[in-house]
Amino acid sequence: MLVEYEDTYLDDDFRVHYEDELLTGEVVHRDGTGRVVAQISYVEGVPSGPQAEWYSDGSKKNEGQTRYGLAIGEWRQWYPNGQLAEHSVFNLQGRRVRRQRWDQDGILAEDKSFAT
């Protein structure tokens, strides 16, 4: 199921609802011109599955996966110029195990591993 952000609401526990039910599906966020700027997957109202955001020009801003609201697997962020800004890896418990960052010219500025 794909629904528009405006058709959803949050309950007191910050879970997303659509038509008075916990949402299992995807929510699309649009800018003022109608262009998709984010698409977020949910399972029973909690972010789970692919997540993505775009800049207003349509280029990718970030993408990754969540499970039960936690970041898992690989996440990437890009600068508006299209250059990769950050690549992070999270374990299944949502802990970051590695982060690499680049400057806007593509030069590696950080490459760090974290104890799990």
Structural domain boundaries in the chain: 2-113
Check residue 116 and give its pLDDT. Answer: 67
What is the pLDDT at residue 29?
A: 97
- The pLDDT score that the predictor gives to residue 18 is 97
Residue numbers of the chain with a pLDDT score lower than 50: none
Say what the pLDDT of residue 115 is: 86
Report long-range pairs for 24-30 (Cβ below 8 Å, ≥24 apart): 25/1, 26/1, 26/2, 27/3, 28/2, 28/3, 28/4, 29/5, 30/4, 30/5
Identify the pLDDT of residue 96.
97
Given CATH 2.20.110, say whether it is the number of domain 2-113: yes
